């Protein structure tokens, strides 16, 4: 009888430990940043809508960038807009702002995934890209890095 009680007590003590391990394992993959590569081009100069493709840790899909603010009055352009990413594995919308340097073509935007997004809500976003200006096109290619949960 004493052995049965010890076995039950050991089982009861181990159960919370096992449950905490399950809870820990079930946390979202917020520890590591998620990186996506993209290419997009201006689809409509009147609206500032850019459309393209995305690939990476979320799989292949589409990227749409909607310009909210664009100031090209200086050699370093001020940019603000919405990125909408859709893949089979994750989808999100991010509000980003930053600059595009026309001297070297480097674009750097920072922002956050909106709360209403299905994946990565609240994640910090950094867009690093190269501006590609062609004869009849305005495009960019680069990476979008998500840091889930806004952690460092």
Give ∠ CA 52-144-40 in degrees, rounded to 5.
Answer: 15
Range of the domain at 40: 34-150
Per-residue pLDDT, averaged over 115-141, amounts to 89
pTM above 0.85, yes or no: no
Residue with more model confidence, 118 or 108: 108
pLDDT score recorded for residue 40: 97
Residue with more model confidence, 8 or 136: 136
In a domain, 89, yes or no: yes
In a domain, 108, yes or no: yes
Q: Could you tell me the CATH number of the domain that includes residue 89? A: 2.40.350
pLDDT score recorded for residue 11: 43
12-52 per-position pLDDT tens digit:
334 333 333 332 222 254 458 999 999 999 999 899 999 99
The count of structural domains within the chain is 1
Question: Can you spell out the DSSP letters for 3-60?
Answer: HHHHHHHHHHHHHHHHHHHHHHHTS-S-SS-EEEEEEEEEEETTTTEEEEEEEETT-S
């Amino acid at each position: 009888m004493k052995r049965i009680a010890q076995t039950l007590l050991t089982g009861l003590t181990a159960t919370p430990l096992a449950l905490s391990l399950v809870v820990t394992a079930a946390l979202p993959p917020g520890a590591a940043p998620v990186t996506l590569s993209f290419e997009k081009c201006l689809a409509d100069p009147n609206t500032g809508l850019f459309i393209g493709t995305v690939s990476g840790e979320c799989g292949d899909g589409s990227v749409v960038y909607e310009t909210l603010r664009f100031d090209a009055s200086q050699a370093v352009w001020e940019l603000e807009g919405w990125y909408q990413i859709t893949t089979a594995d994750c989808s999100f919308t991010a509000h980003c702002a930053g600059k595009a340097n026309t001297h070297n073509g480097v674009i750097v935007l920072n922002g956050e995934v909106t709360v209403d997004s299905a994946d990565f809500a609240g994640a910090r976003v950094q867009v690093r890209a190269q501006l590609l200006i062609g004869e009849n096109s305005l495009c960019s290619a680069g990476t979008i890095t998500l840091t889930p949960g806004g952690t460092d």
